[in-house]
Structure 1
Amino acid sequence: MPDYIKYLQLPSPFVFHRGGRLYEAELQYETWGQLNPSADNAVLILTGLSPDSHACRHHKNDQPGWWEFMIGPGKAIDTDQFYVICASSLGSCKGSTGPASINPKNSRAYRFDFPDLCLQDVANSNVLLCRHLGIDRLHAIVGPSMGGMTGTALLQQHPGFARHWVQIAAGLASPPFSTAIRSLQREAIINDNNFNRGFYSREDWPIDGMKFARKIGMLSYRSAKEWNERFPRSLKKVPDHPFGIEFPVESYLEHHANRFIHQFDPICYLYLSRAMDWFDAYQYKPKTAPHNPLADINIESALILGTETDLLFPIDLQKQVSDLLDKASIDNRLYITDSIQGHDAFLVDEDTFSKLVADYLSATV
């Protein structure tokens, strides 16, 4: 295990938003840069559903991170200036305690004995991590996709815990289309014969369910506009069997699905996927303005980013967040990009998103 991967032992018990409890739970995390003497230069990265704590490399021979272009010395989230923190989500299979972890009570994997997971729990575990690191108030929270909603949950439960907030490709709740997509993904996994009510093994893995779930996800992560440019219909091959892979776009989906099969534990995927669909910021009722779920988050400013081609979190959701921040008299900037990569634009449209985040963070210092 690389020495830059660290673990926080969470309080025992760690109490969940819906009442469950975990004992001896851990949170895997990584940090970059140095915390200054006043401990006010920390930036917390909240991940999407699939990534882990390795957001960027620690040295030139290290493996690239999932947001390599965004974080590092001299980059948009500048580790020469900021102390950057990123944890693998509680409930994932990426080093933090989740349904695939061993339950200390019986020395078996939790599976469906894992407590009901909400984004509020992911948020609270990150607050505990920050406090463990000596941070009482963050300079900024940066959250793309699921991380954007987790940031909302964090600020609602801990008003004023950050001065600034960057929400990317997210909203205050999942729209029905997004929930439908994730529901189909969960159904594909659960209905795989090898899923076996959660008692699958490495040898009898729900391969087909995980592949189909990933392919459904890829349809929603990218845009038809991008695929029209990348996959000309004229390029075909003779399939290996009747109705086998023939078109380039089919090969693309198959490649990404095969890469994903063993990268994520099926039950962990179910839990985090459902946590996204359960989250609804409007369930939080501020005392000062019950109809504005962002009324009391007590931040100085925010950057809200969306993309015209995003199917999962359409731009109306980002406009709604900006409007509510305006009503709460919170300074905010709203930018809707014309990136063609859909929901995944924040991961691949490097120039656009790097500049927007860099310009915003530089103005907050």
Structure 2
Amino acid sequence: MTEFIPPGSRFHPLPSPFSFKRGGALHGGRVAYETWGQLNTQADNAVLIVTGLSPDAHAASNADNPAPGWWEAMVGPGRPVDTDRWFVICVNSLGSCKGSTGPASINPATGEPYRLTFPELSVEDGARAAIEVVRALGIARLACVLGNSMGGMTALALLMLEPGIARSHINISGSAQALPFSIAIRSLQREAIRLDPQWNGGAYDDAHYPESGMRMARKLGVITYRSALEWDGRFGRVRLDSDQVDDDPFGLEFQVESYLEGHARRFVRFFDPNCYLYLSRSMDWFDLAEYADGDVLAGLSRIKVEKALAIGANTDILFPVQQQQQIADGLRAGGAEAAFIGLDSPQGHDAFLVDFQRFGPAVSNFLAAL
């Protein structure tokens, strides 16, 4: 059980107890976050970034941590999220292992990691934790809340739970509810982890760690994060060199297999398996239709912002672009000036992390017009 906290992280203590949507509560919980830029005297130039499942709060380099962040090309002086103009906050998701309290954190009541005693986590719980950070920083109203992937869900939950908290919203490759395909994929990922004998009902340690389950979960995830178009263009049917092939008759043979293996091995020891399970399941449970008698568009229409932009990649199979179109349509029905942009990026769901030539201008133009 390990937490992976970036240097320079700041921490906001949550109210104690901090109650969860599905029951249970945290005592002594916290949220990790980082900031860039300066909050102006009116405190009206703040942009909140809420992230996908695995990123930490270190979206970009700053004085406290000069290492490049996971969204380095998008956040900073003169970049699409321009820190010369905006005061930018990025929070690490509640339930993560990157500084915010999660299953890998120590339960102060027992002195042991929470593991599976952590309360059942929902996207709404993460949204409420992010709201606590915003309020603690003295911000009554955000200029914009920006959510990527799972963060797109968190942003919508935040806007639903705290009406008026933001003037505008950018939803990137997010959704208002989990679709069956996405639920099925995440279910298989969780099953791979839970069926690893080393998982041991969540009671693993560094010496007895469900590495195989995490490897398989990550490989399956990476396959869905990118597109068949990209896989074909990057790897084709190219085989490994003879000195790279091991003696296993069913071992790695193609370059795409080697890529997935390397990617998985870099990930498995840097994200806690129980945290992965909790965050993954929270996405499956999320559904704005719950707030409008089963009608997701009606749920979206209850969110009130002045302007909104929903962006997606046309090759995304995990959060397909019809979900971003749905977000724009629903927010527009609620009175927002809302637009949708489907980008012809070959990188699939992960395009927002790599295709800055397409995603950068869309974000920059929207924020410039605020």
Task: Determine if contact 1:141/1:151 at 8 Å carries over to the other structure.
Answer: yes
Q: CA deviation at 1:327?
A: 1.9
Letter in 1 for 2:59: A
Q: CA deviation at 1:246?
A: 1.1
Per the alignment, residue 197 of structure 1 pairs with: 201
1:349 aligns with 2:362: no
Q: Structure 1: how far apart are the matches of 2:166 and 2:68?
A: 28
Q: Structure 2: how far apart are the matches of 1:174 and 1:296?
A: 19
Per the alignment, residue 299 of structure 2 pairs with: 293
Letter in 2 for 1:336: G
Q: Structure 2: how far apart are the matches of 1:284 and 1:95?
A: 31
Per the alignment, residue 243 of structure 1 pairs with: 250
CA shift in 2, pair 1:103/1:226, >3 Å: same
For residue 129 of structure 1, the aligned residue among 126, 133, 147 is 133
Task: Determine if contact 2:287/2:296 at 8 Å carries over to the other structure.
Answer: no
Where does structure 1 lack aligned partners over 5 or more consecutive residues?
none
Q: Structure 1: how far apart are the matches of 2:36 and 2:66?
A: 13
Structural mapping, 1:202-213, within 5 Å: 202-213=206-217
Letter in 2 for 1:27: V
1:172 aligns with 2:188: no
Q: Structure 2: how far apart are the matches of 1:283 and 1:61?
A: 40
Letter in 1 for 2:252: I
1:162 aligns with 2:173: no
1:363 aligns with 2:369: yes
Task: Determine if contact 1:326/1:332 at 8 Å carries over to the other structure.
Answer: yes
Q: Structure 2: how far apart are the matches of 1:195 and 1:236?
A: 32
Where does structure 2 lack aligned partners over 5 or more consecutive residues?
none
Q: Structure 2: how far apart are the matches of 1:104 and 1:229?
A: 50
TM-score by length of 2: 0.95
SS at match of 1:269: helix
Letter in 2 for 1:316: Q
Q: CA deviation at 1:60?
A: 11
Per the alignment, residue 271 of structure 1 pairs with: 278
Per the alignment, residue 310 of structure 2 pairs with: 304
Per the alignment, residue 9 of structure 1 pairs with: 13
SS at match of 2:73: coil
1:78 aligns with 2:82: yes
CA shift in 2, pair 1:194/1:219, >3 Å: same
1:218 aligns with 2:222: yes
SS at match of 1:29: strand
Q: CA deviation at 1:295?
A: 2.4
Q: Structure 2: how far apart are the matches of 1:155 and 1:235?
A: 48
CA shift in 2, pair 1:80/1:180, >3 Å: same
Q: CA deviation at 1:325?
A: 2.0
1:283 aligns with 2:285: no
1:110 aligns with 2:117: no
1:18 aligns with 2:22: yes
For residue 331 of structure 2, the aligned residue among 310, 325, 331 is 325
Per the alignment, residue 90 of structure 1 pairs with: 94
Aligned pair count? 362
Q: Structure 2: how far apart are the matches of 1:60 and 1:119?
A: 29
Task: Determine if contact 2:6/2:98 at 8 Å carries over to the other structure.
Answer: no
Could you report, residue by residue, the CA deviation over 1:43-72 in whole angstroms, capped at 9, with x for unpaired residues? Answer: 000010000000000149811100001000
For residue 53 of structure 2, the aligned residue among 46, 49, 52 is 49
For residue 236 of structure 2, the aligned residue among 232, 235, 241 is 232
Q: CA deviation at 1:322?
A: 1.6
Per the alignment, residue 184 of structure 1 pairs with: 188
For residue 338 of structure 1, the aligned residue among 332, 344, 351 is 344
Could you report, residue by residue, the CA deviation over 1:164-188 in whole angstroms, capped at 9, with x for unpaired residues? Answer: 0000101111111111000000000
Q: Structure 1: how far apart are the matches of 2:62 and 2:296?
A: 44
Letter in 2 for 1:353: F
CA shift in 2, pair 1:36/1:61, >3 Å: closer
SS at match of 1:151: helix
